[in-house]
Amino acid sequence: MNRRHFLRYGTLAGASSLLAVGTRDLWFPHHAWGQSRRSPRLIVILLRGAVDGLNVVVPYRESAYYEARPSVAIPQPGQPQGALPLNNQFGLHPALEALMPLWKAGQLAFVHACGSPDATRSHFDAQDYMETGIPGNKRIKDGWLNRLLANLPAGPITQAVNIGAQTPLILSGSQQVTTLPLGKKAVRRQSIDNIPVQEAFDRLYQGDNALAKAYQRGRQARTALLAEFNTEMMQASKGAPSPVNAASDLNRLAKLMTGKTQTQVASISFGNWDTHVNQGSSQGPLANRLRSLGEGIQQLTQALGSTFNDTTIVVMSEFGRTVGENGNQGTDHGHGNVMWILGGQVNGQQVYGNWPGLAETQLYQGRDLAVTTDFRDAIASILTQHMGLNSTQLAQVFPGHSVQQTLPIF
Between 242 and 365, the higher pLDDT residue: 365
The structural domain count of the chain equals: 1
Residue 274 banded pLDDT, cuts 50, 70, 90:
very high
Residue 193 banded pLDDT, cuts 50, 70, 90:
low
CA distance linking residue 240 with residue 131, whole number of Å: 15
pLDDT value for 261:
82
Tell me whether residue 195 is in a domain. Answer: no
What are the tens digits of pLDDT across the range 71-111? Answer: 999 999 999 999 999 999 999 999 999 999 999 999 999 99
What is the average per-residue pLDDT within 170-179? 91
Tell me whether residue 177 is in a domain. Answer: yes
pLDDT value for 340:
98
Residue 170 banded pLDDT, cuts 50, 70, 90:
very high
DSSP state letter for 166: S
Compute φ and ψ for 209, nearest 5 degrees.
Answer: -80, 175
Compute φ and ψ for 315, nearest 5 degrees.
Answer: -115, 125
Tell me whether residue 206 is in a domain. Answer: no
What is the average per-residue pLDDT within 256-275? 91
Tell me whether residue 260 is in a domain. Answer: yes
What is the average per-residue pLDDT within 370-383? 98
Report which of 174, 219, 159 is spatially closest to residue 29, judged by C-alpha positions: 159
Q: Are 158 and 261 in contact (CB under 8 A)?
A: yes
Between 280 and 233, the higher pLDDT residue: 280
- Residue 273's contacts (CB-CB under 8 Å, 6 or more residues apart) are 47, 48, 49, 50, 51, 52, 236, 237, 286, 289, 317
Q: With both helix axes pointing from N to C terminus, report the angle between 285-304 and 246-258 in degrees, rounded to the nearest 10.
A: 20
**Boundaries of domain holding 104:** 41-184+240-397
pLDDT value for 231:
67
Collapsing DSSP states into helix, strand and coil, what is residue 373? strand
Which residue type does 409 have?
I
Residue 15 banded pLDDT, cuts 50, 70, 90:
very low
pLDDT value for 11:
33
Q: Say how far residue 29 (Cα) sits from the centre of its chain.
A: 34
Residue 217 banded pLDDT, cuts 50, 70, 90:
low
CA distance linking residue 36 with residue 228, whole number of Å: 52
DSSP line for 9-64: HHHHHH-TT-EEES-S-------GGGGSS---EEEEEEETT---HHHHEE-TT-HH
Tell me whether residue 191 is in a domain. Answer: no
CA distance linking residue 271 with residue 240, whole number of Å: 5
The CATH number of the domain where 310 resides is what? 3.40.720
Q: In this predicted structure, which of 138-152, 211-225, 238-252, 363-377 has the lowest mean pLDDT?
A: 211-225
What is the average per-residue pLDDT within 138-150? 96
Tell me whether residue 291 is in a domain. Answer: yes
What are the tens digits of pLDDT across the range 57-76? Answer: 999 999 999 999 999 999 99
What are the tens digits of pLDDT across the range 349-359? Answer: 999 999 999 99
Q: Around 239, how many Cα atoms within 13 Å sit in the side-chain half-sphere?
A: 8
